Chain A
Amino acid sequence: MGFFLETLIGGLMTGMLYSLVALGFVLIFKASGVFNFAQGSMVLFAALAMARFADWLPRWLGFDNRLLANLLAFVAAMAVMVVAAWLIERLVLAKLVNQEGITLLMATLGISYFFDGFGQTVFGNDIYKLDIGLPKDPVFLFEQAFQGGILVNKEDLYAALIAALLVAALSLFFQKTGTGRALRAVADDHQAAQSIGIPLGRIWVIVWTVAGCVALVAGIIWGSKLGVQFSLSLVALKALPVVILGGLTSVPGAILGGLVIGVGEKLSEVYIGPHLGGGIEIWFAYVVALAFLLVRPQGLFGEKIIDRV
C-alpha cells in the first residue's frame, strides 16, 4: 500500500512537469495552429542559456553570489527566448500563414534541429551544472502508518509545486487578461481576429514567448535534476502523448492528461513492467493515448470536428 502511494505520488509529480510542457504545446497550438515539435529543443536551448549565463555573468561582471547569478541568468535566458520567439515569428510563421497543420509541424521539426545545433554551438555540448538550490534529500511521511514510510522526493516536490504555480498562472493569464482573450479569439478564427484588429504577429510572438518561458522553467527544473545536457531535448517527447490525450486545444486537458500519463507510466512500469521485462514506460504512454484516441479522436477535452461541405 505504502509502495503504491509512493509510486502514485511520484507519478503525480512527474505528471505535473509533463503538464507544464504540454501546456507549452497547447498554448502555441491554440494561438497559431502550430503543433510545436521544437518544444523539446527549446527546453534544451533555454536550459543551456540559463546554465551558461549563470556561469559566465559572475565572471564577466566580477561578483560571486549564486542567487544573484541565477537571477541575472534567468533574466538573460528569458531575453534570449523572447528574441528567439520574435525571430521564429518573423522568419517562419509569418511566411507560413494559413498553411496546413502538417506543413507547420514539419517547419517546427526544422526549427528544433536548428535550435539543437545552434544552442550547442554557442553554449557548448558538455554537461553543465545548474544549481538553483533545490534540496536533493528525500522526506518520509507516515512512518508509523507504513513500514519505511512513504518516500517523497523533495526536489520533485518543489519542482511539481513550481510547475503547478506556473500552470495556474498561465491558465489565469489565458482566461482573465485581455491578451488572453485576444489569444483565444485568434485561436478560434484567425481571419475574424484580424478583422477586429487583433495583430496576429504580436499575438504569435507573445505565445511563443510564453512557450519559451515554459521551456525555460521546465529546462531549469530538469536541468537541476539531470544536469544540463543534450538529453533534455528528449524529455519533451514524453509530453506528446499528454497533448493528444488531453486534446490539442484544451488547457485543462493538458493538465489532467499530464497527471494521467505521469501516474499511468509509473504504475505501469512498476506493476506491469516486470512481467514484460521492464522498460515499458517509453511506449506505454503512447499506447494508452492511442487506444484512447480510437474511442475519442478529439482527445479528452478537444472540440469535435464536423466536416462541412
Chain B
Amino acid sequence: MKLKSVLFAAAAGATLLATLAAPPAAAQAKEQFFPVLPYRTGAYAPNGVPWANGYVDYLKLINARDGGINGVKITFEECDTGYATDRGVECYERLKGKASGEIFQPLSTGITFALTSKAPSDKNVLITSGYGLSESSDGLVFKWNFPMLGTYWSGADIIMQHITKKEGGSLKGKKIALVYHDSPYGKEPIPLLQQRAKLQGYDLTLLPVAAPGVEQKATWLQIRQLRPDYVLLWGWGVMNSAAIKEAVATGYPRERMYGVWWSAGEPDVKDVGDAAKGYNGLVAFGNQGRVIDDIKKYVHGKGQGTGPIEEVGQTLYMRGMTSAVLAVESVRRAQERYGKGKVMDGEQIRWGAENLALDDKKLAALGLTGIMKPLSTSCTDHEGSRSARIHTWDGKAWQVTSDWYAADEAIIKPMVKTAAAKYASEKNVTPRTPADCQS
C-alpha cells in the first residue's frame, strides 16, 4: 500500500521534472515576447503593483489599438520577483529562453545589478527607466543597459538645481539631509550629492533607514535636532509614507522635503492625506494625454484593464506605462532598420534602443504629447533624456509646480566616465570605441 503511494509520488515527481525540463515554448512567428518582472507581493507591493499595471496595460493597448507593432503581436508573461534579487535572477532565467533576445525591466536596483552581468552574454536588453546603475548611461561600457529618462544622479542633480533656484542661487552654508533606504538603491545619489556639496558648499548629512523603513523615529529626532534646510527623501514602499508621517510628528515642514520619483507617488501620500500637503517630489512626465484616454477606451473599456481604472494616470502607473513605451519603441525603431513587421532579436532590439529618436512628432503620433519629453539615445548616451519636474501634493492630488529641468551634464558626465571605467576594469569589460558603435 505505502509502496504504491511512494511509487506514485515518484512517478508524479518524474512528470513534474519532465514539465520543468521541457524547453520553454519558443515564440511563434509574428509575435514579439515581452517578459514582465513586477512585484505584486512583499513589502514593496503597494508601489510595485501600479507600475506593473501601467506596463502591462500599455502592452495590451498596442495589441488592442494598433494590432501590435507594425502587425507583430505582443505577447508577455509576468514573473513576480517580490523585489528580491535572487528571485529576480530566477525569473530572468525562466523568461529569457522564451524568445531570442528580450527587453527586461526589473524595477529593482539590486536585480539590475545582478542582471547587468548576465544580459550581455544572453543578448538581452536591460531598460531601467529611472533606476539602476547611474554610470550605466555610458553606453560604451554598458552596451546592454539603458537607464532611460534619467538616472538617480540626474534625479538628485535636478532636485539640487531646484533647491538652489529657490534659495536664489546659492546653498553656501545650507544644511541638506538625505534620508535614504539603506540599500544600493538608496545609496546611488550619494556620490552626486557629495560632488555638488563640494561645488556649492552646503553640508550634507546622510541618514540611512534600515529596510523596509517602518522605524524612523530616531532618524527624525536627529533631523529635528539638526534642523536641516532641506530633507531629500530616497525611500521606497512603506518607508516613504512612514517618513512623511514622522515629519508630521516631529513638525518638520513638508514644504522643505523633496522626494525622488520613487518617493513621490500616490501610495506614498494617499493614507497621509492632508498632512502631507506641501510635500514635493520629482516627476519625469505628465499625466494628461491622448494615450491615457486610449488606455481607458481600448483596454479598460473592453474590461481588459489590469488594475482599477482610477489608477490610470497616477504617477507610478505612468512610470510603468512610459517604461513600456520605451520597450515598444525600441522594437519599432529596430524594425525600421531590420524590416517592418518582423520579429526582432536581441542584437536588433539593442540597436533600436540605442538609436531611439522620439521627437515631438513621433510622440504626438503615439499620443504621448504632454506626457514624455523628446528623447534620443546614442551609443555614448544610453540615458536619452535626463529631464524632470517637481510636483507637489495638495492634499488630494499631485500638482506640477515647476518647469522642466535638465540634469547638469558638466557635473554628471565626468562622474559617469570614472565610475564606468572602474566597472569596466573590475569586470574586465573592454569598452567600445565610438567607431565600432555602428555594429
- A residues with CB within 8 A of B: 3, 6-7, 10, 14, 120, 125-129, 136-138, 151, 153, 155-156, 222, 225-227, 229-232, 234-235, 238, 265-266, 269-270, 273-274, 277-279, 281-282
| Residue from B207, B213, B221, B267 within 8 A of A6 (CB atoms) | B221
Q: Please classify the interface of chain B as helix (H, G, I), strand (E, B), loop, or mixed, using the class held by over half of its residues.
A: helix
B182 at the interface (CB under 8 A from A): yes
Among residues of B, the one whose C-beta sits closest to the C-beta of A267 is B218
B215 at the interface (CB under 8 A from A): yes
List 16 additional contacts besides A126-B45, A126-B49; criterion CB under 8 Å: A6-B221, A10-B221, A14-B215, A125-B45, A126-B46, A126-B267, A128-B271, A129-B271, A138-B250, A226-B241, A230-B42, A231-B213, A231-B238, A232-B214, A234-B43, A277-B206
**B218 near A265 (CB under 8 angstroms)?**
yes
B224 at the interface (CB under 8 A from A): yes
**B42 near A3 (CB under 8 angstroms)?**
no
Q: How large is the interface on B (under 10, 10 to 19, 20 to 34, 35 or more residues)?
A: 35 or more
Q: Which of A156, A274, A279 has the most CB of B within 10 A?
A: A279
**B221 near A270 (CB under 8 angstroms)?**
yes
**B245 near A273 (CB under 8 angstroms)?**
no
CB distance from B152 to the nearest CB of A (A): 19
CB distance from B216 to the nearest CB of A (A): 9
**B214 near A235 (CB under 8 angstroms)?**
yes
Binary A-proximity of B302-325 (CB < 8 A = 1, otherwise 0) = 000000000000000000000000
**A227 near B238 (CB under 8 angstroms)?**
yes
Residues of A within 8 A of B221 (CB): 3, 6-7, 10, 266, 270
Residues of A within 8 A of B42 (CB): 230
Residues of A within 8 A of B46 (CB): 125-127, 229
B71 at the interface (CB under 8 A from A): no
Instruction: Identify the 6 closest CB pairs spanning chains A and B, nearest first.
Output: A269-B218, A127-B46, A129-B271, A279-B208, A153-B249, A282-B210
- B residues with CB within 8 A of A: 40-43, 45-46, 49, 182, 206-210, 212-215, 217-219, 221-222, 224-225, 237-238, 241-242, 245, 248-251, 267, 270-271, 275
Given the interface contacts A126-B49, A231-B238, does A136 sit within 8 Å of B271 by beta carbon?
A: no
Q: Please classify the interface of chain A as helix (H, G, I), strand (E, B), loop, or mixed, using the class held by over half of its residues.
A: helix
**B251 near A138 (CB under 8 angstroms)?**
yes
Among residues of A, the one whose C-beta sits closest to the C-beta of B45 is A125
Given the interface contacts A125-B40, A126-B45, A127-B46, does A270 sit within 8 Å of B218 by beta carbon?
A: yes
Given the interface contacts A120-B41, A273-B218, does A129 sit within 8 Å of B212 by beta carbon?
A: no
**B208 near A277 (CB under 8 angstroms)?**
yes
CB distance from B418 to the nearest CB of A (A): 23
Residues of A within 8 A of B207 (CB): 278
Report Cα–Cα, A230/B218, bound state, in Å. Answer: 22
Residues of B within 8 A of A136 (CB): 245, 248-249, 275
**B241 near A3 (CB under 8 angstroms)?**
no
